[in-house]
Amino acid sequence: MVSPELLRRYPFFAGFSPDQLTTIAMAAEELAVEAGHRFFNEGDDLTTLYLVIEGSVAISLSMPEKGSRSVLPPPAGQAREIVVSVVRASDVFAWSALVPPGKATSNARAEEACRVVAIDCSALHAQIERDPAFGYQLLLRIAQIARDRIQDLHVEALASAAGASVEP
């Protein structure tokens, strides 16, 4: 468990009641990871939502090697990764853990040593069932994150088409 006061400091949790923050805090733990730590790969089953406290995490997509006709993410080691976003302190990632079917839509790797809060999504799903207003607020925030990731992809696609690179 983490302190509800820790969560209250971050914009993602603004507007949640003290009871709701306590519920989230009880389902959370703080983790320290080293640079290079792989949180998940595209297609993995996700059960955890993450909040970055310190450090940065690269969100990337696996791109098939040139000439491949597959539209599925390539097996690990058989593709290059394109970083489409970098999440930093106060950012949330792994939002797709809350959205069925709970599959990772990207890769996530610590760019440097990080401290994160890992929140068990099964507890969040149970709270959504008990408190639909909580679920509504939570999913609005998740939709904002998804919107931001789509915007990042758009910028990356435009840069790629122009033959430039974008610093996430």
Question: Over the stretch 25-67, which tens digit does the pLDDT of each residue have?
Answer: 999 999 999 999 999 999 999 999 999 999 999 999 888 766 5
Angle at 13 between CA 11 and CA 17, to 5 degrees: 135
Q: What is the pTM of this model?
A: 0.85
Residue 165 has pLDDT above 70, yes or no: no
Residues 6+ apart with CB under 8 A from 28: 1, 2, 7, 117, 118, 119, 120
DSSP helix/strand/coil, 108 = strand
Phi then psi dihedrals of residue 90, to 5 deg: 85, -5
How would residue 72 be classed by pLDDT, with cut points 50, 70 and 90?
A: low
For the chain, list the domains and their CATH numbers.
28-157 (2.60.120.10)
pLDDT confidence of residue 75: 61
Higher pLDDT, 123 or 156: 123
Residue 74 has pLDDT above 60, yes or no: no
What would the mean pLDDT of 109-120 be, rounded to a whole number? 98
Token couple for 134: 């909580």
